[in-house]
Amino acid sequence: MADQTWYVTADSLRSALLDQRVRALVGLAPSAHTVVAGHSVVLSGHVTPSHAGEVVLIEQRGGGGWRVIARPRLSQGSSYSLSHRFMHSGKSELRAVLRLDARNLASDSPTIKLTVTP
């Protein structure tokens, strides 16, 4: 869904405008939830409504905040897929973020957790 503006009319009267801002649905899925350090894992997802050609930010939580680790471009079908190597073992939290645009508020996927083994 895209942002909408609503109003009501009755007889010759019209209400004030009400803006409804919405978020896109952003998906993120790993090819595996456990990966060996230095080996690749495929991260893929889809954005609804279509934002074909736009960039999604893949972010990893760490050091008190989120940092961008990849910037895949959405395909014509509004999907993405990329291969990423995690070099350090431990638990990792990831999310995909679609930036604010004219149609949707900034939107992010649910956080996924990966375990990177030595």
3-state helix, strand, coil in the chain (%, to 5): 0, 55, 45
pLDDT in tens, 69-102: 999 999 999 999 999 999 999 999 999 999 998 8
Domain that holds residue 44: 24-117
pLDDT at 15: 79
8 domain residue, yes or no: no
Residue 27: pLDDT band by 50, 70, 90 thresholds? very high
- CATH number, residue 93: 2.60.40.10
Q: Are 71 and 57 in contact (CB under 8 A)?
A: yes
Number of domains observed in the structure of the chain: 1
pLDDT at 9: 85
